[in-house]
Amino acid sequence: MSTFPVTRLRRLRRTESLRSLVRETRLSLDEFVLPLFVAPEPEPNAELPAMSRLSLDDLVTEADELAALGVRAVILFGIPEEKDEEGSGAYDDDGIVQRALRALRERAPRLLLLTDVCLCEYTSHGHCGLVRDGEVDNDETLELLARTAVSHVEAGADAVCPSDMMDGRVGAIREALPQTPIVAYSAKYASAFYGPFREAAGSAPAFGDRRGYQLDAANVREALRECELDLAEGADVLMVKPALPNLDVIRAVRERFDAPLAAYNVSGEYAMVKAAAAKGFLDERQAALESLTAIRRAGADFVLSYWTKDLARWL
């Protein structure tokens, strides 16, 4: 039996003040992390400005701007001068991310510094771990990931974010760093939406793909198992990535686990909106705000987003 006309849901939608009063999900800058790419040489990207490579000098200027805008947290990705088979730039104490951390720590003491822990930006073959006989060797990679995380923390990182998807990486890092928050890319899918990132980071695999270590897009129970293992190994925060194709996974992780949950609104999701907006197909600001609201509504506590800086102006 319909309760209409007694019940009319449109009553609370009539004005912005009413809508605002009953809004269930709000966006605040506190819940956003801006990815930044640091490289020996700057390389602006006019179409996708958030994918620009920054030099160390640019980075400190950027930090000043972010502080003024109220952005609280960044996650750093490094593009090294040279790549090699072993990805040695990742765990070099004088590597690009380590130098960036020291510069930022000094210049912006209150900016939260997260780092991506992975070898793919540093290996000549572009895979996330060591390659032995044409395959990514899980167990041999663990020590290098832990070394990378330790060198980041020694240089000033507040939290480390392993994104390589090797089994046991959270445990290996936890053993080396008992006090450091680990934000684990737990449910990281093998995805077509990482394209612009790989362009910016120069990290596309030279052969094969990442399906041998990243999750199959068809699976959600497997994502929950990954989360369970990461928590058992000592992760503090879980992450689902990419975000929009996996809102159901975000919801499932939220319902199953009480640990804080992050979601990564990845480069391809950003690029799709940017490209459509450039063609006049949609409004960038509205599409971005709607996407980010949906990710938070699905259950993410915080979001890694290339719109974080724009958000500071929009909110």
Q: Rule CB under 6 A: which residues touch ligand PBG?
A: 116, 118, 120, 128, 163, 194, 197-198, 210, 266-267
Q: Which is nearer to ligand PBG, 64 or 78 (CB)?
A: 78
The residue from 188, 274, 279, 309 that is catalytic is 188
83 catalytic? Reply is no
- For residues 279 and 283, give the distance between their C-alpha atoms in angstroms, rounded to a whole number: 10
The residue from 83, 241, 274, 309 that is catalytic is 241
Alpha-carbon 51 to chain mean position: 13
User: Which residues have a Cβ under 8 Å from the Cβ of 84 and sit 6 or more positions away?
Assistant: 122, 123, 124
Q: Which is nearer to ligand PBG, 51 or 66 (CB)?
A: 51
Q: Which is nearer to ligand PBG, 227 or 266 (CB)?
A: 266
Shortest Å distance, C-beta 187 to ligand PBG = 13
Q: Which is nearer to ligand PBG, 165 or 227 (CB)?
A: 165
Q: Which is nearer to ligand PBG, 59 or 304 (CB)?
A: 304
DSSP string, 176-238: H-TTS-BEEEEEEB--GGGHHHHHHHT---SSS-STTTSBPTT-SHHHHHHHHHHHHHT-SEE
- Closest of 78, 81, 85, 98 to residue 36, by C-alpha: 78
Shortest Å distance, C-beta 204 to ligand PBG = 8
- For residues 285 and 306, give the distance between their C-alpha atoms in angstroms, rounded to a whole number: 12
Shortest Å distance, C-beta 255 to ligand PBG = 25
Q: Which residues pair with 264 in a beta bridge?
A: 304
Shortest Å distance, C-beta 191 to ligand PBG = 8
Q: Which is nearer to ligand PBG, 204 or 276 (CB)?
A: 204
Shortest Å distance, C-beta 109 to ligand PBG = 26
Shortest Å distance, C-beta 6 to ligand PBG = 48
CA separation, residue 171 to residues 184, 205, 232 (Å):
11, 26, 8
Greatest CA separation for the chain: 71
Count the Cβ atoms, other than its own, within 10 Å of residue 202: 16
241 catalytic? Reply is yes
Helix ranges (DSSP H) in 11-72: 16-21, 56-69
- Closest of 119, 69, 49 to residue 91, by C-alpha: 119
Strands (E), the chain: 32-38, 53-54, 73-78, 112-117, 131-132, 135-136, 159-162, 183-188, 237-241, 261-265, 302-305
Catalytic residues: 188, 241
